[in-house]
Structure 1
């Protein structure tokens, strides 16, 4: 990136006019290189210099950069400026900021932006909903996350494996393994196959409740399905045995795992 301005200078010396792709590439490069302030300066020069008008892709790249360094206020300001400059933000523009707000536990601000997004007729996608569901689950608002999942389906936006895993993991951490199993049933109905992360969460939930027989059944199911058990799966079961004061079984399990190359 340290050579980029030299190359840009050569553009002008040769009488070539950089276009939106040129500036978009430079801004994207600075964002990837964690030089977001430099990317913002290039964007400002692009706008003020009148070389060319930025498009949604350029703005989304810079929004991603601001969110990457946790500067959500600048990202929201740019979102507002996009409309003032005559081109509308898209799903990516909103989803990027919503994801950043949700990860920063600013879930209420994220929900407000989500409401604004819908009000403006911009359709949220599975990434938008998953970010919000994750954010709600992270702060213990699981019921609201479940309602949002139901609303998501009502809008014909269907959850993917990541969305379901977020909800299953949170329910299991709260000890609500029965509810988590209900979510898994919905996964099967939608022809989404649970993966190692799904089953690890359920097994961990049973271990937290001290229901080791049920945890073992999940582990055996994973083994039966083939190539699903990993080191985390084994650690969850060993931890469960230890917490239930069954150290001998934990040790026997450890020996068995070694024998199976886990």
Structure 2
């Protein structure tokens, strides 16, 4: 790119763009480069009697002299030279030093880095912009991009009221130094590199409004960014600006715009657009163009058009690749045409294209969805034989396919087989399988799987998995296994959840080990896990079965007073048990009175049990 002398560039900016700026919505005024107030001029003539290294009037000369004398720049040497003058170093002095070294980017950069790291002063936006012009003028574009990104992040982290417009300061800095217009193209690219797409679009509009040239590569990056944010209208605005200012689109530009059509509501106009590009720009659709169209047709279920394009590709000597075939396979699978998808897969392999994990997963998922698990497994073995490593999704869909078909043990064998083949099965897949086994009342199989994966792969097991196993063992009345797992958790200083305690206490009560259940409840409370009405009901029911009414009553009172749990069902159970034993109507009335003191209110069922008990006593029933 041709260099423009500073004086000519400044007059050009002021003359050629003044009319445009006055009418443009994105117009900018040239602003002063330095944002700090000027320091008072030191007029004391006695300062001139001091050595240069102590004279504040000579700080710029001293710094420049020190930089010129050093062949290999050492920050410590510069620091020692101007140590006494550092308090007088400000943003204006930094700018003056940078201007003196416009033709020596290495020394300018060394000085700037010293300011950042050792002077205790943070360069302002004006200082950064001068350095950027120096680097761009010297064709040190990677360094210029690095400092552009640094400056943008620095400005973005400022308070909103202090935030400055990097573009306007960069423009005003052209009054004072040599500059290369490419720096404005780089500014747009820097915003995009940092993921600030909308800000990059705003800067793009300002750059174009000022008459600076933006490269087609930068425009393509901007179009890609806007497309990812689904800002399709802005994509077309960028394209219209490109045509207006004479930025010729290339194949990448047209492919991005094809993508815009395919992702928008105007998909049916894409063919017309491409025909126009062929006529006006001489554009010939390439592999990317065809893949974009094939993918879009397949997503919309228009497989006839997709396969028509697939045939056209060969006629135009554009050879379909893995992406093309994967799109077609996915489209067929989506329509439930799995056999045709598999045939297309074989056709791809026969033509020398090696399938990847995505293409295998597409077919495997379709077979799993139809419940054809043996075919899915065969494809996985084929993957391994082709040195294609199954990923998380591969394992997940096959395991879920077995579980969905109720073949849990087959799923366990599949996971064990994968571990034997040194395929790493994601732990979330194993957890899903173990939880499925627990729900189906197969905790022993789940524990066997857990032991295998922890021994062979040394993975840490989540608390949720232990809780699921404990609950499942408890539901199966395998209390010893459940308590063993609880002991492992306790030794690891893990606290069980209320669901696990509920399952353990319920199981102990069912099998008649009431004292152990009560001890577990005490342990639970000591661990600051609050019990619930289910735990209360299990204990009261257990003690009622062994006719220990006093213990049942004390538990009811304890739960009511300590935790405000008024389990009326457990209360009715106790009333019914007392009545059925014929212990006397008076005992029931005394119980009711005591329970009312702690907050229990009898309901209709309580009264029914009491009436039944009274009738039995009087021989009426």
User: How high is the TM-score relative to the length of structure 1?
Assistant: 0.82
Q: Does 1:231 align with 2:428?
A: yes
Shift of residue 55, structure 1, vs aligned partner? 1.0
Distance in 1 (CA, whole Å) between partners of 2:272 and 2:352 is: 31
Q: Which runs of 5+ in 1 are unaligned?
A: none
User: How high is the TM-score relative to the length of structure 2?
Assistant: 0.37
- Provide the aligned C-alpha RMSD in A: 2.9
Distance in 2 (CA, whole Å) between partners of 1:229 and 1:199 is: 8
Q: Greater relative contact order: 1 or 2 (C-alpha under 8 angstroms, separation 6 or more)?
A: 1
Q: How does 1:37-56 map to 2 (within 5 A)?
A: 37-47=233-243, 49=244, 51-56=246-251
Q: Is the 8 A contact 1:222 1:229 kept in 2?
A: no
Out of 182, 205, 212, the residue aligned to residue 5 of structure 1 is 205
The aligned counterpart of 1:82 is 277
Distance in 1 (CA, whole Å) between partners of 2:370 and 2:294 is: 25
Comparing 229-238 with 131-140, greater Cα deviation is found at: 229-238
Q: How does 1:1-262 map to 2 (within 5 A)?
A: 1-10=201-210, 12=211, 16-47=212-243, 49=244, 51-69=246-264, 71-84=266-279, 85-223=281-419, 225=422, 227-236=424-433, 238-239=435-436, 241=437, 247-249=440-442, 253=446, 260-261=461-462
**Partner SS state of residue 248, structure 1:** coil
- List per-residue Cα deviations over 1:144-173 (Å, max 9, x = no partner): 111110111122111101100111111111
Structure 1's 179 and 58: CA in aligned 2 closer, same or farther, altered over 3 A? same
**Partner SS state of residue 2, structure 1:** helix
Shift of residue 142, structure 1, vs aligned partner? 0.4
Structure 1's 137 and 52: CA in aligned 2 closer, same or farther, altered over 3 A? same
Q: Which runs of 5+ in 2 are unaligned?
A: 1-200, 451-458, 466-621
Q: Is the 8 A contact 1:196 1:228 kept in 2?
A: yes
- List per-residue Cα deviations over 1:164-212 (Å, max 9, x = no partner): 0111111111111121222223222322122332222222222233322
Shift of residue 227, structure 1, vs aligned partner? 4.4
- List per-residue Cα deviations over 1:78-121 (Å, max 9, x = no partner): 33333223121111111122222222333333222222222221
Question: Aligned pairs, how many?
Answer: 253
Q: Is the 8 A contact 2:364 2:394 kept in 1?
A: yes
Shift of residue 230, structure 1, vs aligned partner? 3.0
**Partner SS state of residue 228, structure 1:** coil
Distance in 2 (CA, whole Å) between partners of 1:41 and 1:209 is: 52
